[in-house]
Amino acid sequence: MKNYNIDLKFFKNDPTYYFEKERFGKSFFYNVSYKGYEAKVYVFELYKILSNESFPLFGKKETLNGLSLIPIYIEGFKKGKEFFKSKYTVSTEILFQNINEYVKTLQTCYCHKEQEQGKRGWCWYSWNYPNIFNDEKIKEYGYFAGIISEIDELKEHYHQFKVIGQCDHSLIPQQTETKWDRLKVKQIAIIHVYEGLQITRENAGEIAAKHGYTAKNSGEGLFQDYTYFCSTANRKGIPTEYSSKKLKNKIELFESVVNHLSDNNKQRAIDEIKILKTLLENEYQ
């Protein structure tokens, strides 16, 4: 499966980027269409990619025709809507008899529930984007956009649902707190590396804060860890000031993130863990 490595300089060099992103933020989504079917896109950068016929790729002379990815995105979008309707749609009678519980359930899924792909709540797919992606990743984003669009429709028709997305922890039972909420900074960094999700100095503070790290230097620490683990040599190599304990700790750190990765990205982590275990065995045989 071919991966597309997006050249993020495109956004920084576009003089209209910040103005358009601000306008996008006020509308919350833009639409893309294919053969008369419209689908919502909640991530501005992804919309820019999908609406561009010649998007630059990092380190490549070739460009990506984002328009060719729209049918794949819409395929995922339709499946997401179907999933929501099949699992979460209830009758009007049941809705108004237990509307508070229904809202809590959707709020949990939206902000907190561990999902099969990536251990994330639905809303994660409305604010983050990968800089390396493939057809499956595009379909994945379309899928969760389809789910989020169903939430939008509920908000439009019933005021009780407008709290969804505010992530008010008072609405969520305490036991629904997820492993994702309790990740360490190094784990967050490693997950972003394997998922192909970029952390920059500009967005590191926001990402750290979403995981409960609000100290002044949390963003910089996350950025430094991400930069370190972006290096294949740093991930697969022997730790500085090597000892068996440090190497074992490193293996445990990488093992701890595997279940937080989407299915498409688990194998690379597993393979690199095997390399580290082999290093450990060879050093202490």
- Domain edges within the chain: 4-172, 183-283
Tell me if 154 sits within 8 A of 90, measured CB to CB.
no
What is the average per-residue pLDDT within 31-55? 91
For 202, the token pair is 């500009």
The angle at the Cα of 119, spanning 236 to 230, to the nearest 5 degrees, equals: 25
Asked if the model's pLDDT at residue 25 lies above 80, the reply is no
Secondary structure letter of residue 57 according to DSSP: B
CA distance 23 to 58: 27
Of 92, 96, 113, 203, the C-alpha closest to 164 is 113
Asked if the model's pLDDT at residue 161 lies above 60, the reply is yes
Tell me if 275 sits within 8 A of 236, measured CB to CB.
yes
Q: Which amino acid appears at position 122 of this protein?
A: W
Give whichever of 5-9, 48-52, 58-62, 242-246 has the largest mean pLDDT.
48-52
The pLDDT of residue 40 is 95
State the number of CA atoms in the 13 A half-sphere of 206 facing the CB: 9
The pLDDT of residue 166 is 67
What is this structure's pTM? 0.58
In tens, the pLDDT along 248-284 reads 899 999 998 888 887 778 899 999 999 998 888 877 5
- Going by pLDDT thresholds of 50, 70 and 90, the confidence category of residue 236 is confident
Listed in sequence order, the residues at least 6 apart from 59 whose beta carbon sits closer than 8 Å to its beta carbon are 5, 7
Asked if the model's pLDDT at residue 159 lies above 50, the reply is yes
- Going by pLDDT thresholds of 50, 70 and 90, the confidence category of residue 175 is very low
Phi, psi angle pair for 132, to nearest 5° = -120, 125
What is the SS3 assignment for 186? Answer: helix
In tens, the pLDDT along 96-131 reads 677 888 888 888 888 765 444 444 678 888 877 766
